[in-house]
Amino acid sequence: MQVGTLKPSLTKTLERRYRAIELPEGEDRETFLAEHGGDVTAVVTSGRFGVQADLMDRLPKLGAVVNFGVGFDTTDVEAAQARNIVVSNTPDVLTDCVADTAVALLLDVMRGFSAADRFVRAGRWPSEGNPPLTRQASNRRVGILGLGRIGGAIAHRLVGFNCTISYHNRREVAASPYTYYADLAEMAREVDVLVIAAAGGAGTSGLVTRDVLAALGPKGYLVNIARGSVVDEDALVELLLAGQLAGAGLDVFAHEPKVPQALLELDNVVLLPHVGSGTVETRAAMEELTLANLDNFLHSGTVLNPVY
Protein backbone atom coordinates (compact mmCIF):
# COMPACT_ATOMS: atom_id res chain seq x y z
CA MET A 1 0.00 0.00 0.00
CA GLN A 2 1.20 3.50 -0.86
CA VAL A 3 0.84 6.13 1.86
CA GLY A 4 1.14 9.71 0.66
CA THR A 5 2.28 11.21 -2.62
CA LEU A 6 5.37 9.65 -4.16
CA LYS A 7 7.49 10.19 -7.27
CA PRO A 8 5.09 9.52 -10.23
CA SER A 9 7.30 6.85 -11.78
CA LEU A 10 7.53 5.06 -8.43
CA THR A 11 3.75 5.16 -8.05
CA LYS A 12 3.34 3.68 -11.53
CA THR A 13 5.82 0.90 -10.78
CA LEU A 14 4.07 0.07 -7.51
CA GLU A 15 0.76 -0.14 -9.34
CA ARG A 16 2.08 -2.15 -12.29
CA ARG A 17 4.55 -4.49 -10.62
CA TYR A 18 2.95 -4.98 -7.21
CA ARG A 19 -0.71 -4.04 -7.82
CA ALA A 20 -0.31 -1.58 -4.95
CA ILE A 21 -3.29 0.25 -3.53
CA GLU A 22 -3.12 3.87 -2.38
CA LEU A 23 -4.46 5.03 0.96
CA PRO A 24 -6.99 7.82 0.39
CA GLU A 25 -7.38 10.87 2.62
CA GLY A 26 -10.55 12.27 4.12
CA GLU A 27 -13.76 10.44 4.87
CA ASP A 28 -12.97 7.56 2.49
CA ARG A 29 -9.96 6.54 4.57
CA GLU A 30 -11.82 4.53 7.23
CA THR A 31 -13.97 2.69 4.70
CA PHE A 32 -10.85 1.88 2.67
CA LEU A 33 -8.97 0.55 5.70
CA ALA A 34 -11.92 -1.53 6.82
CA GLU A 35 -12.01 -3.16 3.39
CA HIS A 36 -8.30 -3.50 2.59
CA GLY A 37 -6.31 -2.98 5.80
CA GLY A 38 -6.27 -6.64 6.75
CA ASP A 39 -4.46 -7.62 3.54
CA VAL A 40 -1.59 -5.10 3.58
CA THR A 41 1.85 -6.59 4.30
CA ALA A 42 4.06 -3.65 3.24
CA VAL A 43 3.69 0.12 3.05
CA VAL A 44 5.73 2.40 0.80
CA THR A 45 5.82 6.01 1.96
CA SER A 46 8.16 9.00 2.34
CA GLY A 47 9.53 11.19 5.09
CA ARG A 48 6.79 13.72 4.43
CA PHE A 49 4.02 11.26 5.37
CA GLY A 50 5.26 8.18 7.23
CA VAL A 51 3.24 5.65 9.21
CA GLN A 52 2.09 6.33 12.75
CA ALA A 53 1.00 3.78 15.36
CA ASP A 54 -2.73 4.32 14.75
CA LEU A 55 -2.34 3.31 11.11
CA MET A 56 -0.20 0.31 12.06
CA ASP A 57 -3.07 -0.81 14.28
CA ARG A 58 -5.33 -0.90 11.22
CA LEU A 59 -2.85 -3.08 9.29
CA PRO A 60 -2.55 -6.32 11.31
CA LYS A 61 -0.38 -8.09 8.69
CA LEU A 62 2.00 -5.18 8.16
CA GLY A 63 5.60 -6.35 8.13
CA ALA A 64 7.53 -3.46 6.57
CA VAL A 65 7.46 0.31 6.18
CA VAL A 66 9.61 1.18 3.17
CA ASN A 67 10.63 4.84 3.05
CA PHE A 68 11.49 6.73 -0.12
CA GLY A 69 14.17 9.05 1.29
CA VAL A 70 16.66 9.06 4.13
CA GLY A 71 14.31 10.71 6.66
CA PHE A 72 11.93 8.46 8.59
CA ASP A 73 10.98 10.70 11.53
CA THR A 74 7.30 10.72 10.53
CA THR A 75 7.15 6.96 11.11
CA ASP A 76 6.73 5.74 14.68
CA VAL A 77 9.78 3.50 14.80
CA GLU A 78 9.22 2.44 18.43
CA ALA A 79 5.69 1.32 17.59
CA ALA A 80 7.06 -0.55 14.57
CA GLN A 81 9.66 -2.31 16.72
CA ALA A 82 7.00 -3.34 19.23
CA ARG A 83 5.01 -4.90 16.37
CA ASN A 84 8.04 -6.53 14.66
CA ILE A 85 7.63 -4.26 11.64
CA VAL A 86 10.89 -3.47 9.83
CA VAL A 87 11.49 0.09 8.66
CA SER A 88 13.85 0.99 5.81
CA ASN A 89 15.13 4.15 4.16
CA THR A 90 17.43 5.11 1.27
CA PRO A 91 20.75 6.30 2.72
CA ASP A 92 23.97 7.11 0.82
CA VAL A 93 22.41 7.64 -2.61
CA LEU A 94 21.32 11.19 -1.75
CA THR A 95 24.34 12.21 0.33
CA ASP A 96 26.18 14.09 -2.42
CA CYS A 97 23.23 16.12 -3.65
CA VAL A 98 22.10 17.11 -0.16
CA ALA A 99 25.66 18.09 0.76
CA ASP A 100 25.89 20.13 -2.44
CA THR A 101 22.67 21.89 -1.47
CA ALA A 102 24.05 22.78 1.95
CA VAL A 103 27.15 24.34 0.43
CA ALA A 104 25.05 26.17 -2.16
CA LEU A 105 22.85 27.62 0.58
CA LEU A 106 25.89 28.70 2.58
CA LEU A 107 27.37 30.46 -0.46
CA ASP A 108 24.05 32.01 -1.44
CA VAL A 109 23.07 33.41 1.94
CA MET A 110 26.53 34.78 2.73
CA ARG A 111 27.13 36.28 -0.71
CA GLY A 112 23.53 37.33 -1.28
CA PHE A 113 23.29 35.84 -4.76
CA SER A 114 19.53 35.22 -4.77
CA ALA A 115 18.91 38.73 -3.42
CA ALA A 116 21.23 40.17 -6.08
CA ASP A 117 19.36 38.23 -8.77
CA ARG A 118 16.06 39.75 -7.58
CA PHE A 119 17.74 43.17 -7.53
CA VAL A 120 18.71 42.87 -11.20
CA ARG A 121 15.38 41.41 -12.32
CA ALA A 122 13.50 44.24 -10.62
CA GLY A 123 15.41 46.78 -12.73
CA ARG A 124 17.00 48.38 -9.68
CA TRP A 125 20.64 48.22 -10.79
CA PRO A 126 20.56 51.15 -13.26
CA SER A 127 18.71 53.44 -10.85
CA GLU A 128 20.19 52.40 -7.49
CA GLY A 129 23.70 51.34 -8.39
CA ASN A 130 25.38 48.34 -6.83
CA PRO A 131 23.69 46.40 -4.02
CA PRO A 132 25.29 46.33 -0.53
CA LEU A 133 28.48 44.37 0.02
CA THR A 134 28.14 40.83 1.34
CA ARG A 135 30.29 38.42 3.37
CA GLN A 136 33.09 36.16 2.17
CA ALA A 137 32.15 32.49 2.40
CA SER A 138 35.59 30.88 2.30
CA ASN A 139 37.97 30.81 5.27
CA ARG A 140 35.07 30.61 7.72
CA ARG A 141 34.51 28.74 10.96
CA VAL A 142 31.70 26.26 10.30
CA GLY A 143 29.95 24.16 12.92
CA ILE A 144 28.03 21.09 11.76
CA LEU A 145 25.21 19.64 13.84
CA GLY A 146 25.20 15.94 12.96
CA LEU A 147 28.42 14.53 11.53
CA GLY A 148 26.86 11.50 9.86
CA ARG A 149 27.03 10.62 6.18
CA ILE A 150 25.65 13.95 4.99
CA GLY A 151 27.35 16.05 7.65
CA GLY A 152 30.68 14.43 6.81
CA ALA A 153 30.17 15.11 3.09
CA ILE A 154 29.40 18.77 3.86
CA ALA A 155 32.54 19.05 5.97
CA HIS A 156 34.64 17.48 3.20
CA ARG A 157 33.37 20.05 0.71
CA LEU A 158 33.91 23.00 3.01
CA VAL A 159 37.51 22.00 3.70
CA GLY A 160 38.00 22.84 0.02
CA PHE A 161 36.86 26.38 0.86
CA ASN A 162 39.55 26.51 3.55
CA CYS A 163 36.92 26.47 6.29
CA THR A 164 37.69 25.37 9.85
CA ILE A 165 35.24 22.63 10.79
CA SER A 166 33.78 21.74 14.17
CA TYR A 167 30.82 19.53 14.99
CA HIS A 168 28.31 18.51 17.63
CA ASN A 169 26.95 14.97 17.95
CA ARG A 170 25.49 12.94 20.76
CA ARG A 171 28.96 11.43 20.98
CA GLU A 172 32.39 12.18 19.55
CA VAL A 173 33.27 10.56 16.22
CA ALA A 174 36.38 8.41 16.56
CA ALA A 175 39.33 9.53 14.43
CA SER A 176 37.48 12.59 13.11
CA PRO A 177 39.86 15.38 12.05
CA TYR A 178 37.34 18.00 13.16
CA THR A 179 36.88 19.67 16.55
CA TYR A 180 34.16 18.14 18.71
CA TYR A 181 31.90 20.20 20.98
CA ALA A 182 29.79 18.41 23.55
CA ASP A 183 27.75 21.58 24.05
CA LEU A 184 25.85 22.88 21.01
CA ALA A 185 25.47 26.46 22.27
CA GLU A 186 29.18 26.64 22.99
CA MET A 187 29.94 25.57 19.42
CA ALA A 188 27.46 28.12 18.07
CA ARG A 189 29.32 30.89 19.91
CA GLU A 190 32.57 29.87 18.24
CA VAL A 191 31.47 29.60 14.59
CA ASP A 192 30.40 31.88 11.77
CA VAL A 193 27.97 29.38 10.25
CA LEU A 194 25.93 26.61 11.86
CA VAL A 195 24.93 23.88 9.40
CA ILE A 196 22.20 21.47 10.50
CA ALA A 197 22.56 17.93 9.15
CA ALA A 198 21.03 16.01 12.06
CA ALA A 199 18.29 13.41 11.68
CA GLY A 200 14.75 14.48 12.47
CA GLY A 201 12.46 12.93 15.04
CA ALA A 202 11.68 13.30 18.72
CA GLY A 203 15.34 13.05 19.72
CA THR A 204 16.32 16.22 17.86
CA SER A 205 13.06 18.19 17.95
CA GLY A 206 13.80 21.78 18.97
CA LEU A 207 17.47 20.96 19.52
CA VAL A 208 18.50 24.29 18.00
CA THR A 209 16.89 26.44 20.67
CA ARG A 210 16.57 30.20 21.01
CA ASP A 211 19.68 30.10 23.20
CA VAL A 212 21.67 28.29 20.51
CA LEU A 213 20.53 30.77 17.86
CA ALA A 214 21.33 33.70 20.14
CA ALA A 215 24.78 32.22 20.72
CA LEU A 216 25.33 32.17 16.96
CA GLY A 217 24.84 35.92 17.14
CA PRO A 218 24.18 38.88 14.82
CA LYS A 219 27.12 37.97 12.57
CA GLY A 220 26.22 34.29 12.39
CA TYR A 221 24.42 32.34 9.67
CA LEU A 222 22.21 29.25 9.90
CA VAL A 223 21.92 26.62 7.15
CA ASN A 224 19.37 23.80 7.48
CA ILE A 225 19.10 20.87 5.07
CA ALA A 226 17.91 18.39 7.72
CA ARG A 227 14.41 18.81 9.17
CA GLY A 228 12.53 21.96 10.13
CA SER A 229 11.60 20.35 13.44
CA VAL A 230 15.24 20.55 14.62
CA VAL A 231 15.02 24.36 14.90
CA ASP A 232 12.83 26.60 17.06
CA GLU A 233 11.34 28.26 13.99
CA ASP A 234 9.53 31.01 15.91
CA ALA A 235 12.78 32.02 17.59
CA LEU A 236 14.60 31.90 14.26
CA VAL A 237 12.10 34.30 12.68
CA GLU A 238 12.19 36.66 15.66
CA LEU A 239 15.98 36.83 15.77
CA LEU A 240 16.24 37.39 12.01
CA LEU A 241 13.70 40.23 12.17
CA ALA A 242 15.55 41.76 15.12
CA GLY A 243 18.92 41.64 13.35
CA GLN A 244 20.22 39.15 15.87
CA LEU A 245 21.20 36.71 13.11
CA ALA A 246 23.00 37.64 9.90
CA GLY A 247 20.97 35.30 7.71
CA ALA A 248 19.67 31.81 7.04
CA GLY A 249 19.66 29.33 4.18
CA LEU A 250 16.72 26.96 4.56
CA ASP A 251 15.65 23.91 2.56
CA VAL A 252 13.30 22.66 5.28
CA PHE A 253 10.64 24.15 7.54
CA ALA A 254 8.65 23.20 10.61
CA HIS A 255 5.27 23.03 8.87
CA GLU A 256 6.02 22.26 5.24
CA PRO A 257 4.90 23.39 2.74
CA LYS A 258 3.93 26.40 4.86
CA VAL A 259 6.69 28.98 5.29
CA PRO A 260 6.46 31.84 7.81
CA GLN A 261 5.31 34.96 5.96
CA ALA A 262 8.02 37.08 7.57
CA LEU A 263 10.75 34.97 5.95
CA LEU A 264 9.36 35.66 2.48
CA GLU A 265 10.11 39.33 2.92
CA LEU A 266 13.75 39.04 4.02
CA ASP A 267 16.62 39.38 1.56
CA ASN A 268 19.08 37.78 3.99
CA VAL A 269 17.18 34.49 3.91
CA VAL A 270 17.35 31.93 1.09
CA LEU A 271 14.31 29.66 0.87
CA LEU A 272 14.14 26.34 -0.99
CA PRO A 273 11.13 23.97 -1.20
CA HIS A 274 12.86 20.89 0.31
CA VAL A 275 14.82 20.09 -2.85
CA GLY A 276 18.08 18.90 -1.27
CA SER A 277 17.93 15.55 -3.05
CA GLY A 278 15.94 16.87 -6.00
CA THR A 279 18.06 15.88 -8.97
CA VAL A 280 17.18 13.44 -11.74
CA GLU A 281 20.11 11.19 -10.83
CA THR A 282 19.50 11.09 -7.09
CA ARG A 283 15.75 10.61 -7.23
CA ALA A 284 16.23 7.75 -9.71
CA ALA A 285 18.72 6.11 -7.34
CA MET A 286 16.34 6.62 -4.40
CA GLU A 287 13.52 5.00 -6.38
CA GLU A 288 15.72 2.05 -7.29
CA LEU A 289 16.77 1.52 -3.66
CA THR A 290 13.18 1.85 -2.43
CA LEU A 291 12.09 -0.90 -4.79
CA ALA A 292 15.09 -3.04 -3.85
CA ASN A 293 14.12 -2.76 -0.17
CA LEU A 294 10.54 -3.71 -1.02
CA ASP A 295 11.58 -6.65 -3.21
CA ASN A 296 13.95 -7.92 -0.54
CA PHE A 297 11.21 -7.82 2.08
CA LEU A 298 8.67 -9.58 -0.11
CA HIS A 299 11.15 -12.36 -0.92
CA SER A 300 12.99 -12.78 2.38
CA GLY A 301 11.14 -10.83 5.06
CA THR A 302 14.09 -8.46 5.54
CA VAL A 303 15.14 -5.13 4.01
CA LEU A 304 18.48 -3.96 2.68
CA ASN A 305 18.56 -0.73 4.67
CA PRO A 306 16.92 -1.18 8.06
CA VAL A 307 16.88 1.93 10.23
CA TYR A 308 17.16 -0.04 13.49
Cis before 177 (ω within 30): no
Among residues 15, 172, 256, 281, the one annotated as catalytic is: 256
Of 222, 276, 282, nearest to 252 by C-alpha is 276
d(CA 87, CA 65): 5
Nearest by Cα to 103 from 47, 156, 148, 167: 156
Closest CA to 157 of 91, 208, 225: 225
Specify whether the CB–CB gap between 90 and 112 falls below 8 A: no
Dihedral sign from CA coordinates of 146, 150, 152, 153: negative
Integer-rounded Cα Rg, in Å, for the chain is: 21
Among the listed residues 227, 233, 283, 287, the single catalytic one is: 227
Beta strand 193-196 pairing with 221-224? parallel
Nearest-angstrom CA–CA distance, 202 and 73: 8
CA distances to 3, 97, 107, 126, 251 from 6, rounded to whole Å, are: 8, 19, 31, 45, 19
* 43 φ/ψ sector (left φ>0, alpha ψ -120 to 50, else beta): beta
Residue 56 CB coordination number (10 Å): 19
Which residues, 6 or more positions from 303, have their beta carbon under 8 angstroms from its beta carbon?
64, 66, 86, 87, 88, 293, 296, 297
Question: Any catalytic annotation for residue 156?
Answer: no
227 in active site: yes
Q: Which of 140, 168, 233, 274 is catalytic?
A: 274
* 210 belongs to the catalytic site: no
Catalytic amino acids? 227, 256, 274
